[in-house]
Amino acid sequence: MTRSLITSLSILLLLACNNSSSDQEKGNVSNIPKTKSDSLYQDVMKGHERGMGRFGELHRYEALLSQMVDSLARVNGKSPESKAFRWQMDSALTHLKNAENAMNQWMEEFDPNKEGKTENEKIDFYSAEKNKVIRVEELINNSLDQAKKLTNK
């Protein structure tokens, strides 16, 4: 009796594990877009995640460029080449900060709660937000490219 109970429980446990893994392989059903607005919302979130994923890099280059500006100021670089390079570093630093501010502002203003809105209203809203987050991503990418060129990294 005890042996059959243990065997039955073991089989149930194995079946339960197999069912949960097949659910994981299929993906979370709630992540599958059901409407065009759901799909657009996911696109917006993916853009946000890509942009935020580069924030660490953005902060590293802000710090590096700030150090370079300080170092140049300490050696009192007054030659035209030094002044031009200083201007380029200041410009790149400004672009990095503007990209960071753009993402922060977008996040503050973004309100995904569209309960009670029609599908067309949601589509219009998420389409506009997708365009905004794409522009923010471009600001981040372009500012990082500029910083990398100046720092040779």
**Which tens digit of pLDDT belongs to each residue from 39-75?**
999 999 999 999 999 999 999 999 999 998 888 777 7
- Residue 76's pLDDT band (cuts 50, 70, 90): low
Write out pLDDT tens, residues 13-48.
Answer: 444 444 444 444 444 446 788 999 999 999 999 999
Q: Is 70 exposed, middle or buried (0-12, 13-18, 19+ CB in 10 A)?
A: exposed
Q: Which has the minimum average pLDDT: 64-78, 85-99, 116-130?
A: 64-78
Give CA–CA dist 67/73, Å, rounded: 10
Which amino acid belongs to residue 15?
L
- CB distance 96 to 83 below 8 Å: no
Token pair recorded at residue 142: 């372009």
Percent above pLDDT 90 for the chain: 61
Q: Which long-range contacts (CB under 8 A, 24 or more apart) does 60-67 make?
A: 61/92, 61/96, 61/144, 61/147, 61/148, 61/151, 62/93, 62/96, 62/97, 62/100, 64/147, 64/151, 64/153, 65/89, 65/92, 65/93, 65/96, 65/147, 65/150, 65/151, 66/93
Token pair recorded at residue 135: 């522009």
107 pLDDT more than 80: yes
Residue 128's pLDDT is 97
What is the model's pTM?
Answer: 0.75
